[in-house]
Amino acid sequence: MHPEYQYLNLLQDILENGAIKHEYNTGIEEKSVFGRQIRFDLSQGFPLLTTKKVFTRGIIVELLWFLQGNSNIKYLVDNNVHIWDEWAFRIFTDAKNGKWYGKERPLTEEEKSIQDQAVFIQKIKEDDAFAKEWGDILTVYGRMWRKWPGKDHTIDQIAWVIEKLKKSPDRRHAVVSAWNPDFIYEMASKEHARPVPPFCHTMFHFNVLDGRLSCLLYQRSADMFLGVPFNIASYALLTSMVAQVTGYPPGEFIHVFGDTHIYSNHYEQVKEQLKREPRPFPKLVLNPAIQNIDAFTFDDINIEGYNPHPPIKGEVTVVGGF
């Protein structure tokens, strides 16, 4: 059976058996199950879902941004990827409404005049000083992966994991965590609090078995229609990149879900997707000359033979704190 049916069968399971819940800050309905797993053998193709077209360029650019340890959206904006725009604009809007997140100065008249997200993002693109102040959303995966704020130093978890995989492949502690309570809503220190959603993909674990490198991701909250296809491909790509720089062929990507849900504004889109037959997975080709995780560029990552069904549009369900 085509491995994509794991994802499609989970969609069907949620539609048929999911408990009805409602988003606490929007009231939107969702159907939800708890505790599921799917897995992909990366030697059998790159798990970029084919029953709808997935935004491949966005996946690659975002992952490279994470690997920089970057929390400022300017890199994404400059590369025409806008999946984090709304969170920077929300912080800016909160500041206009008096919530400063540790800042103490009043807005300038020019800042007060910015009412539209598109104008805000264009300002991020064109004005480096504005981008430095307003483009940094702080609570981002890459910062926790590469610059976890320790008591007296920052911690590069990715570099540590790669070193351990090279030197001690039989050990079981190659874990990266993004779940930092000091950056999450009411638990956060005043200077760290942001309305960005708490980390959905909270931790991942590399393991070497039979000479192959596998990765297990735990995702506490999974938007199955819009988010999860993106997450599958992103972590499969990360696994393959880490495998290359540590000298192992890639093994499996295992995806473990906590709250696994479909929002009501995606029900009809999911039903349409379930009518489609999966097509062969594409092939991931990485530049073999790259042996350092920080050396990868967009041009070093190629996905060949991707022939998906047409995209199915769905509105993003906006969640977040405060």
Percent of residues, the chain, with pLDDT higher than 90: 79
What is the structure's pLDDT at 320? 56
pLDDT in tens, 35-66: 999 999 999 999 999 999 999 999 999 999 99
pTM: 0.94
Condensed to tens digits (0 to 9), the pLDDT of residues 116-146 reads 999 999 999 999 999 999 999 988 999 999 9
Supply φ then ψ for residue 263, to 5 degrees. -75, 150
Q: Which pLDDT value is given to residue 103? A: 63
247's tokens: 């000298």
d(CA 236, CA 246): 15
Rg value, the chain, Cα: 20
139-180: pLDDT as tens digits: 899 999 999 998 899 999 999 999 999 999 999 999 999 999
Other Cβ atoms closer than 10 A to 57 = 12
Query: pLDDT value at position 322?
Result: 46
Per-residue pLDDT for 302 more than 50? yes
One of 10, 178, 200, 242 is an active-site residue; which one? Answer: 200
SS3 119: helix
Half-sphere exposure of 179 (CA within 13 A, CB side): 11
95 versus 126: the higher-pLDDT residue is 126
Q: Is 200 among the residues known to form the active site?
A: yes
Distance CA 161, CA 174 (A): 5
Which domains does the chain possess?
4-71+139-304 (3.30.572.10), 72-137 (no CATH)
Average confidence score pLDDT of the chain:
93
Report the DSSP beta bridge partners of residue 209: 212
> Residue holding tokens 């956060």?
188
- The residue-averaged pLDDT of 75-81 equals 97
* Per-residue pLDDT tens digits for 181-207: 988 878 888 778 777 778 899 999 999
The tokens describing 245, both together, are: 């720089």
Check pLDDT > 60 for residue 69.
Answer: yes
d(CA 173, CA 26): 39
